[in-house]
Amino acid sequence: MKNVKIYTLSTCPWCRKTKNFFTEHKIPFTFIDYDLADEATQNSITQELDASGATGFPFVRINDEVIVGYQPERYAKALGI
C-alpha cells in the first residue's frame, strides 16, 4: 500500500476534487488543510512546498513522488491503478 499525504486548502475546489479522487478509489490518505493548521504546521508545509518548487495547492505526495495540482491521471499512474 502506497503512502499518500495531501496538503490542501479548505477554500480550494481542486483540493476537494483531489480528496474525492482518493476516496472514490478507496485509497487511504492523510491530509492537512493548510489554512486551518497552526503556525508550526504551516511553516513545515511551506518548507516542503518550497523544496519541491510548488506554489499552490493541492500538493500530493505518493510515497516519494510529489504531484502538484489536480492531476487525476498522474495520481492513477503513481498509484498503479
Query: Is residue 49 involved in binding another protein (CB under 8 A)?
Result: yes
Residue 58 — φ and ψ, nearest 5°? -75, 150
Of residues 21, 22, 29, 57, which one binds another protein by CB under 8 A? 57
Query: Is residue 78 involved in binding another protein (CB under 8 A)?
Result: no
Query: Is residue 12 involved in binding another protein (CB under 8 A)?
Result: yes
Residue whose grid cell is 474525492: 20
Exposure string for 14-33, b = 16+ CB within 10 A, e = fewer: ebeebbebbeeeebebebbb
Query: Is residue 69 involved in binding another protein (CB under 8 A)?
Result: yes
Contact set with another protein (CB under 8 A)? 9, 11-15, 34-35, 42, 45-46, 49, 53-57, 68-71
